Amino acid sequence: MRREFLPYYRPLLESHEMEAVLESMRGGWLTTGPRVHEFETSFAAGSGVAHAVAVNSGTAALHLSLAAWGIGPGDEVVMPAFTFVAGAQCARHVGARPVFADIDPKTLCITAETVKRVMTARVKAIMPMQYGGQPLAIADLMEFAGQAGLRVIEDAAHAAGTLDQNGRWAGVMSHAAAYSFYATKNMTCGEGGMFVTNDGDLAERVRVLALHGMDRDAWRRYTQGGKWRYDVVSTGYKYNLSDTAASLGIHQLKRLASMQRRREELARLYISELKDVAGIAPLTLPPPLPAKHSFCIFAVGIDEQAAGVSRDEVIERLNQANIGTSVHFIPTHLFSSFSHAAQAPLPVTDRVWKTIVSLPLYPAMSDEDVMDVTGALRDIVVRAHPADAVSSVPK
Ligand SMILES: Cc1ncc(COP(=O)(O)O)c(C=O)c1O
């Protein structure tokens, strides 16, 4: 058994990144300013999406897109229930109703087919999500959205490092995408997010909504030559990113490709080591190139019959073996705050979530850490089958 606890997540920050944060603080400008503008420019260039607006969370980016499109009371937004609750709450923030579509059992993402099943005349937008970083069938979704006159905002919280079937970042094919730089994401600012779109007018509306509806941010007012007067042109929110956070984001973006290489190595090691573990199957698998999985989450499914233990027991025993795990996700329609809403059946979501466990996977992990996890899983399954274990001892 491991001596030290292996946490589900631990960030790997390099000293030059910490130095960049200090440097930005020494510069005397803490709120939205030159570092945020640099981060936006480099994110737009890196993603291949024309416009990037930095905000203080992925949730803020989702909320702003719905607000900027004027989605509101009486409208519906289709999204997976098998995701984090942020998107559903954002639909509620603007007075709209979240409607849940089922997931494809292979990709664990919603598809044009599952969206069609819950369509009504009230649906105004679709909010698909790359589950754990799994590339979406975005071309099909965009074709359907085009026919039905719907907007598509990708909840790209897990998608820094994901490339779609054409080798493109989230936000290139759709109307907009919302990235999250929350602490456990593939690149982080601690807290932060990025709204990206190829629509210049939409980007400008989001920029204004993100700062109280003001037409000019502080950097453009307080710096030498800046103009003090500003107008408030609409209702707005306080969602701007700080320069302190952006200075970390700039360096995380530069390191994203190398961090992704390490994530992929670790994922491949998990996949090969889990081959002989009965009843525990990786659900996170590398897609054919040029698509790429971001390996933001490494999920396995527990087949209770074959493994001899339930998902909950596996989590408990890994914990006893000093290994942290997580579950992504408790589906949104099962939360008490959402359970009263009428809902179409979600058979795949309801079946899959009961079997799923997320294993630790992050660049700060060593190969030995992965072997500890797979060794512990093998042990759990062998102990659950004492008869097989005895019969497998050579005579
Ligand atoms: C799928 C998904 N969407 C949205 C979010 C919200 O991102 P943030 O925490 O940056 O607001 C998260 C965060 O964990 C997420 O996992």
- Bridge partner list, 211: 238
329 lines ligand 1 (CB under 6 A): no
DSSP string across 102-151: P--TTT-S--HHHHHTT--TTEEEE--B-GGGPPP-HHHHHHHHHHHT-E
358 lines ligand 1 (CB under 6 A): no
Residue 260 CA to ligand 1 centre (angstroms): 19
Contact status, residue 162 vs residue 71, Cβ threshold 8 Å: no
Count CA within 13 A, CB hemisphere, residue 295.
Answer: 26
Each residue's pLDDT tens digit, 305-339: 999 999 999 999 999 999 999 999 999 999 999 98
301 lines ligand 1 (CB under 6 A): no
**Where do the domains of the chain lie?**
15-253, 257-386
Residue 21, pLDDT score: 95
Contact status, residue 245 vs residue 15, Cβ threshold 8 Å: no
Q: Is the pLDDT confidence value at 386 over 70?
A: no
User: Can you tell me the distance from the alpha carbon of 24 to that of 19, in angstroms, rounded to the nearest whole number?
Assistant: 9
Q: Which of 84, 103, 191 is the best mutation target for the ligand 1 pocket, counting ligand atoms within 8 Å of the beta carbon and taking the most?
A: 84
Contact status, residue 182 vs residue 188, Cβ threshold 8 Å: yes
**Does residue 93 sit in helix, strand or coil?**
helix
Q: What are the angstrom distances between the C-alpha of 363 and each of 104, 181, 369?
A: 29, 16, 11
193 lines ligand 1 (CB under 6 A): yes
Q: Which of 182, 328, 329 is the best mutation target for the ligand 1 pocket, counting ligand atoms within 8 Å of the beta carbon and taking the most?
A: 182
Each residue's pLDDT tens digit, 186-220: 999 999 999 999 999 999 999 999 999 998 776 77
84 lines ligand 1 (CB under 6 A): yes
Domain 257-386 has CATH 3.90.1150.10: yes
Q: Is the pLDDT confidence value at 255 over 50?
A: yes
The reported pTM is 0.95
Q: What share of the chain is helix, strand, coil (3-state, %, to 5)?
A: 40, 15, 45
User: Can you tell me the distance from the alpha carbon of 106 to that of 149, in angstroms, rounded to the nearest whole number?
Assistant: 28
User: Can you tell me the distance from the alpha carbon of 326 to that of 341, in angstroms, rounded to the nearest whole number?
Assistant: 27
Close Cβ partners of 12 (under 8 Å, ≥ 6 residues apart) = 259, 362, 363, 364
Domain 15-253 has CATH 3.30.70.920: no
Residue 1 CA to ligand 1 centre (angstroms): 33
User: Can you tell me the distance from the alpha carbon of 223 to that of 47, in angstroms, rounded to the nearest whole number?
Assistant: 30
Percent of the chain past pLDDT 90, that is, above it, reads: 91
Q: Is the pLDDT confidence value at 115 over 70?
A: yes
Residue 86 CA to ligand 1 centre (angstroms): 6
What does the chain come to in residues? 395
Ligand 1 nearest atom to the CA of residue 83, by list position: 1
Q: Is the pLDDT confidence value at 57 over 90?
A: yes
Query: Sign of torsion, CA 274 181 91 40?
Result: negative
